[in-house]
Structure 1
Amino acid sequence: MKKLVLTGAAGRLGSYLRGPLAQLCEEFVSSDLAESVPDLAPNETYVRADITDLDAMVALLEGADMVVHFGAVGDEAPMEVLWGPNFYGAYTVWEAAARNKLRRVVYASSIHAVGMHRKTDFIGIDAPHKPDTFYGLAKCFAEDLASLYWDKRGLEAVCMRILSCAQVSNSRAVGSWLSYDDLVHLVERAISTPITGFSIVYGVSNNDRAPVDNAKAQHLGYRPKDNAEQFAEAIYAQDGPLDPHDPANTHHGGPFAAVELGNSGVAHLNLNAEDTAKG
């Protein structure tokens, strides 16, 4: 690949992806609102840009083959906070990609697009949207935008519904964990698969208790290797009995399914310092 662009490069997940993605292309451009990012790869250029600025996105994606779009507010917040980066920012990326005739957008969607489904339903990639928050609603919007741009403009998209990409620190994560190695593998498959059209895939590791079904995403060749079962005994002992009537325990969105609209869901995830240090 000649040129690959990553938005959200200064965020927690973007920071993990920069090195591996730089190895997949001749020219790698990372972008975010931060003034800079550390440890640039030899073929990496950092561009400070606002995803709510369409002209800036058009310039950023000029000459690119694909864009990996991770730029957004990464938590539930009031609609006024999310509207620009999470809703309109998705439009600017897709519109800029279409204007520059990119082949594909690889998008960091989320389980929160379907977070109000119950975990016992074992949903597939064709489950109807059922967002748990404004944050999840933004993911629904972007997935539908991706479908629209594929149907109307032939712009491919892979929407990765990430579950819990952080260390296993709570009972929910025993099923929902996506390891950082499996995240890299997932994004690489989303980029390297020859034909994707409009595709959805769940970002989850090979957990014994994974609550979602990727059977209809087999064409991407995503085969995760890590399994959170190794943490199950200690985590369940730590958390003790769970309330079977609490939406945080029974729904795919976890705490996001239980919080009031506009209130942080991440604050209830019991993340450790490693998973909160990078934004």
Structure 2
Amino acid sequence: MKLVLTGAAGRLGSYLREPLAAMCDTLVSTDIAEDIGTLYDGETYVQADLADMAQIAPVLEGADMVIHFGAIVDEKPFEELLGPNFVGSYNIWEAGYKAGVKRIVYASSIHAVGMYPKSECIGIDVPHRPDTFYGLAKCFTEDLGRMYWEKRQLESVHLRILSCAQVSNTRALGSWLSYDDLIQLVTRAIDTPSVGFAVIYGVSNNDRAPVDNAKAAFLGYRPKDNAEQFAQTVLAEAGPVDVTDPGQMCHGGPFSSVDLGQSGMAQLNIVDDRKET
């Protein structure tokens, strides 16, 4: 089996490379970065720009599946996101279809539905409600994936990741996805025999998880980790809740309150703990 991983130089990509290399004959990792460090057995690296079909199409030749994690991972002006996040997704699906790829596993996001209030435990079938241009790109790609399945029978699994980073705020007590659970989630999206078009929330087994994966149970994802282990420390350091702030009251967190085009990540203090090779 040949797998292609986009966004291999990113933080989440750094944790996926080793397990993906171990489960296939050939792993082709790709990103816009010049290199990604020491390669694992069976892994090769190709520098390519997602927004350039001429660069990305050859990377997908002969691939069985694509794990598409490449994108700008923050809110930006629409013009900056258009190439990597919108056109890039089209290029992956169109090149994948032409190359005979069976399935695409896509790093979608809670920001596709980020404007729902956290008081609503939302399922995988709620209508899109993006909080940013970044979230809009996730909606676009989910709809793209559904269309390519229904029109061209190209399977896809869309992982609506909530927050895959160290637990440092009260929102993360519900939204946390551990790296181990991320690996399990991607593995289930690859090894489930038939998926058609599927959406599943990327979240660990948190007591306070604000989303419902019941309708995606067929994928076999059973998370192990629970953010409650961090609750005492996080809650002791937390300030009072502002119930008028969408950033505290909506699923999208700070992305729900920032102006369009303005960074949401800047308010999250994400620790860059990427896995080094």
1:4 and 1:273 map into 2 onto residues whose CA distance is 26
Q: Please name the residue that 2:206 is paired with.
A: 207
2:127 and 2:268 map into 1 onto residues whose CA distance is 25
Q: Please name the residue that 1:44 is paired with.
A: 43
* CA deviation string 1:216-266 (max 9, x = no partner): 000100000000011111101111221122111110000000000000000
Q: Please name the residue that 1:127 is paired with.
A: 126
1:271 and 1:85 map into 2 onto residues whose CA distance is 22
Partner amino acid, structure 2, of 1:23: A
| Closer, same or farther: CA 62–273 of 1 in aligned 2, 3 Å | closer
| Closer, same or farther: CA 169–61 of 1 in aligned 2, 3 Å | same
Q: Please name the residue that 1:188 is paired with.
A: 187
2:232 and 2:26 map into 1 onto residues whose CA distance is 45
Q: Please name the residue that 1:53 is paired with.
A: 52
1:213 and 1:55 map into 2 onto residues whose CA distance is 39
Aligned positions of 1:257-268 closer than 5 A: 257-268=256-267
State the 1:273 CA deviation: 4.7
State the 1:54 CA deviation: 1.2
2:111 and 2:41 map into 1 onto residues whose CA distance is 36
1:274 and 1:154 map into 2 onto residues whose CA distance is 37
1:54 and 1:251 map into 2 onto residues whose CA distance is 36
- Asked if the contact 1:169–1:272 (Cα under 8 Å) also holds between the matched residues in 2, the reply is no
Q: Please name the residue that 1:4 is paired with.
A: 3
- Asked if the contact 2:6–2:69 (Cα under 8 Å) also holds between the matched residues in 1, the reply is yes
Q: Please name the residue that 2:164 is paired with.
A: 165
Fraction of identical pairs, as percent: 64
Please give the secondary structure, in 2, of the residue aligned with 1:141: helix
1:4 and 1:196 map into 2 onto residues whose CA distance is 17
Partner amino acid, structure 1, of 2:188: R
Partner amino acid, structure 2, of 1:155: L
1:256 and 1:240 map into 2 onto residues whose CA distance is 19
Q: Please name the residue that 2:115 is paired with.
A: 116
2:47 and 2:186 map into 1 onto residues whose CA distance is 22
Q: Gaps spanning 5+ residues in structure 2: where?
A: none
- Asked if the contact 1:94–1:149 (Cα under 8 Å) also holds between the matched residues in 2, the reply is yes
Partner amino acid, structure 2, of 1:151: E
Q: Gaps spanning 5+ residues in structure 1: where?
A: none
Q: Please name the residue that 2:144 is paired with.
A: 145
1:90 and 1:31 map into 2 onto residues whose CA distance is 14
1:16 and 1:263 map into 2 onto residues whose CA distance is 28
2:38 and 2:177 map into 1 onto residues whose CA distance is 25
2:244 and 2:255 map into 1 onto residues whose CA distance is 15
2:246 and 2:238 map into 1 onto residues whose CA distance is 16
State the 1:274 CA deviation: 2.6
Which has the larger displacement, 63-72 or 36-45? 36-45
1:16 and 1:55 map into 2 onto residues whose CA distance is 28
State the 1:270 CA deviation: 2.4
> TM (normalized to structure 2)?
0.98
Q: Please name the residue that 1:254 is paired with.
A: 253
Aligned residues: 276
Q: Please name the residue that 1:30 is paired with.
A: 29
Partner amino acid, structure 1, of 2:7: G
2:19 and 2:7 map into 1 onto residues whose CA distance is 15
